[in-house]
Structure 1
Amino acid sequence: MDDYQNRSYGEIPVGFGARPGIVVVDFQVGFTDPQYPLGGAPLVRRAVENTARLLAVARRAGIPVASCNTAYMSEREMPYWKITAVRETFLHGHPSVALDPRIHDPAYDLVVCKKGPSIFFGTGVSDYFAKERVDTVIVTGCNTSGCIRASAIDSFSHRYRTIVPEDCVGDIEEGPHRDNLRDLGRRYVDVSDLATVLGQIEAWQRQNAA
């Protein structure tokens, strides 16, 4: 046991509730396509493929999905990003801000454009989930150490049970990916995996059919 465990961090699981929703954070081609400065990290590519599998099952089950990109009208509108590639490419009309078609269903998903790290900040996603009676949020997307962490903490702050499947989120480097998931799992979320979440969706379907 490490010192966090000795002090009771991570002792109580969050668990799955009765009504799930899924957020898909920043799977825009600027992050998923290697032709762009921030794009194509191996962990992100893996996460896109796994999230596409998750979403196909979730949509068939009628689970609400909210996706976002990050884009601005100009650098003047932006927060004080310290990332040159964000300032130069995450602009409305630039091809890098389009959602990756592997995870995007425009006929099904709620789509929002966020201006900060969290999909919940100033977007209306929590209002949508309230209408859908969501009590459990499954967080997917990138990057783990940035917008996934922010979105997971906001989900926790909104009093959702929050689940982060490790293989459905990604980052540029493995170290920050693992470190942030470990820290989130100590405090706010259950770190899970695609197979477990798919199994839970099947359980929800059986409960709803009963």
Structure 2
Amino acid sequence: MASHHEVAARYWGHLIQQDKKPSPVLQQLLLGLAKYILTCLQKKHVAPWDVDCLTPPKLATFYRLVGGDYDPLFLDTQDSSLSFIYQSLGCFHTLQPTKDPYTSPTVPALTARGFVKWQTMQLLLDPAEHVPFLQEAVKRFDLVNSQDGEPFPSLLPREALPMKPDKAMVDWHDLVSEKLMLDVKASREPTKTPPDLPWP
């Protein structure tokens, strides 16, 4: 008789494909996790004026609940910089209102598909840190596969996900990060005034 671990391993399979995209099962899992964050976490942990999008406070709350501390990224980073990070990584997101409805929308919020991309990239870049977060989410939250309406197994075997960082993805991410730092530095430099020229 197959063990619980063996049954779970067959269900999950390999969750990252050769082209570095999420498998259909991982995609459904991450979509289900996004839905859970939007519904259950919003009721318990997020301010009532927040919108039905994956805003920074919701993502920070999610990471805290699964054992991480991403408050510096999601709560301390400027909205424009976080939006640029999402854009650089190719994660679909929108700009949402702040607490004040009379100001222009500036809060970057991941769409569900953007969350799938975000989480997949984190698993490729730093599996040692992010795989346990996903394992804890599967164990702790009641996540349902929207395709068949069945709950996901509460056990996510470690071997279903990458064991080490993907070198090509890390190299690409380093280039993007370097460009982000240069762009932020350039945006903070004072505008140079043109030199005084003598009258002809």
Which one has a larger percent strand, Structure 1 or Structure 2? 1
**Is the helix fraction higher in 1 or 2?**
2
Please give the TM-score of this superposition, normalised by the length of structure 2. Answer: 0.31
Using the size of structure 1 for normalisation, the TM-score is 0.30
User: Which entry has the higher C-alpha Rg, 1 or 2?
Assistant: 2
